[in-house]
Chain A
């Protein structure tokens, strides 16, 4: 599938206590996160895409393939759609072994549609040693990895994931997230990923759709969506900015890597094992509460990363605190960064839009 193709989801659907009305034209590549509170219609969107739910009025199209077009009475049943679906909870068929589960979908995929062998996902998800095990012998994390590999074994045109980590504890999440990130690197299939975890959005998504009460509240590229002051992601306690960077150098003596970002560069501590190659793309996340502001360039500070930036907007967030939207670079033309500071500091420093400040960044995490 070429990246020029898009994924279309237009759906109107009414249930007793819920109505969905969305018009989405999503990128045909990368991971699109459907984000929003529970009951916002995320899962319903996914189920309409899969044909598990039939929207009264709907248009579902993946590239050139039409799966539903109610105007022309077209509805392709789920089992004839080339899709992979990963459910929230472990959904392995428990009368089959891991291998049986992986082969189930592969065997039913028309030979002409197969792009790879059923073992394709084994290495990608690290489950090669589990083939002869039964689902009830697996941990929650292993089950979800098998479920993802099973979906991939059908050579889907579209991969749908419904909160695949929600049923797992923090340790299992940490175990499975790197696999999902790897998936993103190596997969040529568009993914629609339902989640209510901002952390998962920041780590995985390229494109974000924010849903609320069955409607699209906003959508756009990840970096924009996370830092828009009018959206709930920036207003919450976990507000975070994600910056896309490229490694441009590494100092072996200081164990620091330099990442160029739009409007400056950041220094990141690296372990000896993880020396990045120059040019490697990285996704860097910075918590809004880890960014403090100063009117002059701090001369003596232990903070490694101090970047000039311009204040773009200031907004009350949590009581007693304000959220400051910054544009990196003296003119503010670079990437957008969020800073959360106390309202008192904001008044004392006289922070208003247009002011040039220095952002002291206390913590940068490389999420990918």
Chain B
């Protein structure tokens, strides 16, 4: 067997976290991007900065604040405890919540870019063809922003797969619950199991390259089509 059951478990867990995170981000990030693209108010500026924060912040900083905030003594954690809910740190759910924060800009930014590139014209065209605002959003804006949506999903997924610092802070290292691939590789190296680390690292390398290559081909094809 190329990969040990432990490694396979870590891979499967990583896939689950990334897929769920991407799905949540798609649902939350798309309207957020639309609001950021359309809002003329001042509030869009600080919110835009907040969304971009994970791009520049060390993951450990973000992880630290999430850990504190979501922990039993933090504001969110205390509130959840008062409702009789378990706290999130060191759980699968907590890992997904942290990933959503961490990968937010990777979903929002590409969608926002394509929405801004859209300009006013398609919206005015849709209005002149009797489409109301919601109708226009779903039947004109989203189809025209498909490249941005696809890029956002791929980037969010890939970025979530690649996270380490936030996972370590919020998720810890619980097999089958929070031990994702990046942590697993770290463990292998710590234990001097270089062969196992190599196999898993190689899988990640091939995966990352394949994803980015696919994205390149998609963008090239799309650029060709819209330039025609």
Contact = CB atoms under 8 A, between A and B. Distances in A.
A324 B127 CA distance: 48
Interface stretch (A55-63, A75-83, A167-175): A75-83
Contacts of A193: none
A93 B140 contact: yes
Contacts of A95: 140, 143-144, 146
Contact of B125 (A91, A108, A137): A91
Most buried by A among B121, B127, B132, B140: B127
B129 A108 contact: yes
B124 interface: yes
B130 A109 contact: yes
Given A85-B128, A104-B131, A93 B228 contact: no
A255 interface: no
Interface residues of B, number: 21
B212 to A, nearest CB: 25
B121 A91 contact: yes
A68 interface: no
B122 interface: yes
Contacts of B143: 95
Nearest to A77: B127
B144 A87 contact: no
Nearest to B143: A95
Interface in A205-251: none
A360 interface: no
Contacts of A85: 124-125, 128
B193 interface: no
Contacts of B132: 77, 79
A80 B132 CA distance: 8
Range class of the A interface residue count: 20 to 34
Contacts of B130: 79-80, 105, 108-109, 154
Interface in B110-129: 121-122, 124-129
B6 interface: no
A87 B225 CA distance: 22
Contacts of A93: 122, 125-126, 140, 144
Contact of A83 (B122, B128, B144, B226): B128
B40 to A, nearest CB: 14
Interface string A18-54: 0000000000000000000000000000000011100
A80 B143 CA distance: 23
B121 A87 contact: yes
Contacts of B226: 94, 136
Interface in A106-122: 108-109
Given A95-B143, A95-B144, A50 B131 contact: no
15 contacts: A50-B128, A51-B127, A79-B126, A79-B127, A83-B128, A91-B121, A93-B126, A93-B140, A94-B144, A95-B140, A95-B143, A104-B131, A108-B131, A137-B228, A151-B128
Ordered nearest first, which 8 A-B pairs have the shortest CB separation? Answer: A105-B129, A85-B128, A108-B130, A78-B127, A136-B228, A95-B143, A79-B127, A91-B125
